[in-house]
């Protein structure tokens, strides 16, 4: 061992050293992974507002105020009222209090509500209904989360995957306007920074994006990940990405992680995990005849999300689609907000 291989002395400039001294190179056995946790204020909010997001928009100044207000009303349509009567448990939970004092979230919400009234900002108008009754339900599991679920029997519903390949991404409201008769729409899995799908995407039998089995960071690469597919025989499936062949597949989208495969919860999920977020996912009934699209109405961890699919919906195979930015629209609801997009691929459903 020469001088450059000696461990550096703390607080003393020692000059260049080798990887032997700094334990880099082949010594390194761990890598940092960024995990975005739900802030305590949002976890405490009775409306489930994405408080961190809309406070960030407020900091943009005047041009960010309307964006902040629209982020609030996506979860709470009465911010001027709730800003006055809510007992603001968000502020009680705010960890800024450990430094000086909690953020005045309640006051900012009240201000945004009053400002919206003064500016005559309009709430999103309900979209025109397609006249079709979309089968929906709300599943409340107490501390294990609340979920909105759309149930699509493939005998009655045509479920498709699409990617318009617009360089500016896919705006859900614009997609709805461009596709008469559509009754259900959600973003179809994790995508890249350049607004392209993260993995395989098949639309009407054409492969628009290839299968991605590479390693990397983030939820998409939390192996095993999976592919949601619609087959020529009219059935659906969620399959481990390493087992995907594309044979007989007419629609497909890849995302990750797999929530369930053969009834087993992903091996890296932890019961009671504090890693909670808003999430969307897709599951398929064991006979392949029914597709379930689900969005969480409260912050949940991946273990609870997977358990809901298995225990409440009877699903053996389910796939995580995306997190905080996700939306699940059904006919008759307000148009999806543009402030959470744009996206890449989508999953859409039309009545047969």
Q: Where are the domains of the chain?
A: 40-119, 136-351
pLDDT digits (tens, 9 = 90+) for 302-343: 999 999 999 999 999 999 999 888 999 998 888 887 778 899
pLDDT of residue 138: 93
Judged by average pLDDT, the poorest of 36-45, 57-66, 151-160, 319-328 is 36-45
Which whole number is the average pLDDT over 42-56? Answer: 83
**Alpha-carbon dihedral of residues 68, 185, 194, 325, nearest 10 degrees?**
30
Which whole number is the average pLDDT over 100-118? Answer: 92
The Cα–Cα gap between 49 and 72 comes to 6
pLDDT of residue 34: 56
Q: Taking the model in full, what pTM does it have?
A: 0.74
At residue 128, does pLDDT exceed 90?
no
pLDDT of residue 24: 58
Q: What is the DSSP string of 331-342?
A: TTSBPPPGGG--
Q: What is the spatial order of strands in the sheet that 184-187 belongs to?
A: 157-162, 346-351, 184-187, 328-330
The Cα–Cα gap between 345 and 203 comes to 10
The Cα–Cα gap between 54 and 70 comes to 8
Judged by average pLDDT, the poorest of 162-176, 276-290, 334-348 is 334-348
The pLDDT-based confidence of 200 (bands split at 50, 70, 90) is very high
The Cα–Cα gap between 210 and 146 comes to 34
At residue 147, does pLDDT exceed 70?
yes
At residue 9, does pLDDT exceed 80?
no
Which whole number is the average pLDDT over 211-237? Answer: 94
β-bridge mates for residue 148, sequence order: 138, 295
pLDDT of residue 96: 87
CATH assignment, 40-119: 1.10.1060.10
Q: Which of 133, 131, 135 is nearest to 292 (CA)?
A: 135
The Cα–Cα gap between 64 and 332 comes to 28
Cis peptide before 78 (omega within 30 of 0): no
């Amino acid at each position: 061992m020469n001088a450059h291989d000696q461990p550096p002395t703390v607080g003393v400039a020692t000059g260049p050293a080798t990887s032997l001294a700094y334990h880099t190179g082949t010594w390194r056995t761990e890598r940092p992974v960024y995990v975005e946790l739900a802030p305590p204020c949002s976890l405490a909010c009775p409306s489930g507002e994405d408080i961190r997001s809309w406070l960030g928009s407020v900091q943009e100044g005047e041009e960010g105020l309307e964006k902040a207000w629209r982020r609030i009303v996506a979860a709470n349509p009465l911010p001027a009222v709730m800003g006055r009567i809510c007992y603001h448990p968000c502020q009680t939970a705010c960890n800024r209090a450990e430094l000086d004092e909690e953020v005045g979230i309640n006051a900012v919400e009240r201000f945004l509500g009053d400002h919206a009234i003064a500016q005559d900002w309009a709430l999103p108008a309900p979209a025109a209904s397609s006249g079709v009754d979309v089968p929906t339900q709300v599943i409340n599991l107490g501390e294990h989360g609340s979920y909105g679920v759309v149930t699509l029997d493939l005998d009655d519903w045509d479920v498709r995957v699409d990617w318009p390949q617009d360089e500016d991404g896919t705006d859900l409201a614009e997609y709805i306007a461009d596709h008469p008769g559509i009754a259900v729409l959600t973003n179809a899995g994790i995508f890249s920074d350049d607004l392209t799908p993260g993995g395989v995407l098949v639309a009407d039998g054409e492969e628009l994006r290839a299968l991605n089995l590479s390693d990397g960071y983030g939820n998409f690469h939390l192996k095993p990940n999976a592919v949601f597919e619609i087959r020529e025989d009219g059935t659906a499936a969620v399959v481990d990405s390493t087992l995907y062949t594309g044979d007989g597949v007419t629609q497909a989208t890849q995302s990750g992680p797999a929530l369930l495969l053969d009834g087993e919860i992903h091996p890296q999920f932890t019961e009671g995990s504090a890693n909670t977020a808003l999430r969307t996912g897709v599951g398929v009934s064991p006979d392949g005849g029914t597709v379930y699209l689900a969005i969480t109405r409260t912050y949940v961890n991946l273990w609870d999300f997977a358990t809901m699919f298995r225990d409440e919906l009877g699903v053996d195979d389910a796939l995580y689609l995306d997190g905080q930015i996700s939306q699940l629209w059904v006919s008759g609801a307000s148009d999806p907000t543009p402030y959470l997009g744009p996206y890449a691929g989508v999953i859409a459903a039309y009545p047969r």
